[in-house]
Amino acid sequence: MKENISLKAYNTFGIDARAKFFFELKKREELSSLAHFNSFHDKSLILGGGSNILLCKDFDGLVILNSLKGIELIKEDENEVYLKVAAGEVWHDLVSYTIARSWGGLENLSLIPGRVGASPMQNIGAYGVELKDVFYELEAWDKETEQVVVFNKEQCQFAYRESIFKKELRGKHIILSISLVLSKKPKINIEYGAIAETLKLMKVENPTIKDVSDAVIAIRSSKLPNPKEIGNAGSFFKNPVVDLKLVKELQGKYPSLPVYTVDEKCAKLPAAWLIEQAGWKGKSFGNYGVHKNQALVLVNYGGAKGEDIKNLAHSIQADVFSKFGIEISPEVNFI
Ligand code: FAD
Ligand code: EPU
């Protein structure tokens, strides 16, 4: 147990907030004794790579860094493999591990920062695939009963950047492992965005999952700032899902508005477009601001306070609402 430590190295925004207590969890068995520690029940935060949090102030409780390791092949047949992966594994290392074995399913989710345990929290997604597409079940430690419980896919209530762990069960469980079903006969999914175009530029005709992963990595590296260079947490807001009536009205005013149909009633709009049109793209306020190439990414150029970024986010939300009548909600977890 460490005391009064800086969390700067433990969040990709690079916010220098402090934790009263800090414990690195390496074995499941340590949880039972950790549960006797007062702060465990009063105020504790389980952390992975810190790539989807904004530390708004010092954390006056216990931060538990999830470093549980291990990848286990549970079962396999001629078509599929079932993998159980400990929550502290690094997400992209898992993706690389599966690609090296030609097990398909995770390639479109290449290079998402963070650890495996946080992936169900918001049902991570990118380039036309979400965690739920390969998810089987997870094990979690119920902080109240101090028991291991299993959640199947339905119980996780996955939706776009949502799960039960972000809503009614927020803060109640520590995810210990996830189990995934991957394919030994991968179906290539290159429908989304610029993947097909990028593969063409790479002169790839019959892409393998490794090619798809390489293309996704190339696109992501060209679009998103590297947190090692500029503090950020990826998309700060979710893309709003809005009524088609409002979409039609907006299209009348803004013919260039990009629209992604969801169903016969709703469509998803890129929050980045709304924020850019509202004039925020590239705006800087000293040591923090809105990224110059991706308006959905708020950045810390070094030394910013979480509170500054939170206030900036609120100003952007209010402005987008007053200009377009659309509420954009944060994807990032405010701590
Ligand atoms: P953390 O930030 O450590 O935690 C996030 C939340 O989950 C916190 O509330 C935390 O308490 C909780 N949590 C963490 N671990 C556990 C656990 N074991 N049990 C219970 N709760 C837990 N996300 C996408 O979906 N798609 C993207 O394409 C994407 N791109 C990104 C690009 C960049 C450059 C960055 C910086 C972020 C991006 N993200 C993306 C967001 C982020 O990487 C993901 O949400 C990731 O899953 C967060 O993992 P983490 O380990 O860093 O979580
Ligand atoms: N756009 C702008 N201005 C910008 C940037 C983008 O107008 O500054 C418009 C463009 O029209 C573009 C559209 O927004 O076509 C969408 O942009 P992009 O393809 O970059 O995707 P995004 O909607 O910003 C989403 C996810 C990302 C994920 C990518 C790829 C959300 C909130 N974000 O970004 O996830 O990697 O698609 O699938 O859904 C994350 O969650 O942290 C994240 C990075």
Judgement on whether residues 44 and 16 belong to the same structural domain of the protein = yes
Low-confidence ranges of the chain (pLDDT < 50): none
No. of H helices and E strands in the chain? 9, 19
In 143-284 the beta strands, taken as DSSP E runs, fall at: 147-152, 173-183, 231-232, 241-243, 260-261, 266-268
Judgement on whether residues 10 and 85 belong to the same structural domain of the protein = no
Residue nearest to atom 12 of ligand 1 (CA): 118
- Residue where one domain finishes, among candidates 183, 212, 240: 183
φ/ψ bin of 127: left (φ > 0), alpha (ψ from -120 to 50), beta (otherwise): left
Residue nearest to atom 31 of ligand 1 (CA): 234
> Ligand 1 within 6 A of 125 CB?
yes
Distances (CA, A) of 42 to 63, 230, 299: 12, 33, 31
Its domain, for residue 172, covers: 71-183
What is the distance between the alpha carbons of residues 310 and 304, in angstroms, rounded to a whole number? 11
- Residue where one domain finishes, among candidates 118, 150, 183: 183
* Ligand (nearest to CA of 271): 2
What is the distance between the alpha carbons of residues 48 and 122, in angstroms, rounded to a whole number? 13
- Residue where one domain finishes, among candidates 33, 66, 99: 66
> Three-class SS of residue 324?
helix
Ligand 2, atom nearest to 238 Cα = 32
CATH of the domain at 241: 3.90.78.10
Domain membership flag for residue 90 = yes
> Ligand 1 within 6 A of 115 CB?
yes
Distance 234 CA to ligand 1 centre (A): 9
Which tokens is 170 given?
């927020």
> Ligand 1 within 6 A of 178 CB?
no
CATH of the domain at 44: 3.30.43.10
Long-range contact set of residues 1-7: C-beta below 8 Å, sequence gap at least 24 = 1/37, 7/50, 7/55, 7/59, 7/63
Closest CA to 80 of 103, 108, 46, 98: 103
Ligand 1, atom nearest to 173 Cα = 20
Contact 201, 168 (CB under 8 A): no
Q: What is the pLDDT of residues 42-54, one digit of tens each?
A: 899 999 999 999 9
Distance 47 CA to ligand 1 centre (A): 9
Distance 175 CA to ligand 1 centre (A): 13
Judgement on whether residues 79 and 62 belong to the same structural domain of the protein = no
Domain membership flag for residue 91 = yes
Domain membership flag for residue 203 = no
Distance 272 CA to ligand 2 centre (A): 6
Locate tokens 């997400």: which residue? 91
Going by the DSSP 8-state scheme, the letter that residue 237 receives in this structure is: B
Domain membership flag for residue 130 = yes
Instruction: Please tell me the predicted confidence (pLDDT) of residue 104.
Output: 98
**What DSSP element (H or E) covers 153?**
helix 153-156
Contact 325, 264 (CB under 8 A): no
> pTM for the whole thing?
0.98
CATH of the domain at 91: 3.30.465.10
Q: What is the pLDDT of residues 178-233, one digit of tens each?
A: 999 999 999 999 999 899 999 999 999 999 999 999 999 999 999 999 999 999 99
HEC string of 106-121 equals: CHHHCCCCCEHHHCCC
What is the distance between the alpha carbons of residues 191 and 228, in angstroms, rounded to a whole number? 30
Q: Looking at the annotation, which residues are catalytic?
A: 161, 235, 331
Distance 333 CA to ligand 2 centre (A): 18
* Ligand (nearest to CA of 233): 1
Judgement on whether residues 162 and 77 belong to the same structural domain of the protein = yes
Residue nearest to atom 7 of ligand 2 (CA): 273
Q: What is the count of structural domains for the chain? A: 3
Instruction: Please tell me the predicted confidence (pLDDT) of residue 29.
Output: 94
Domain membership flag for residue 149 = yes
Instruction: Please tell me the predicted confidence (pLDDT) of residue 193.
Output: 80
Closest CA to 196 of 176, 212, 180: 212
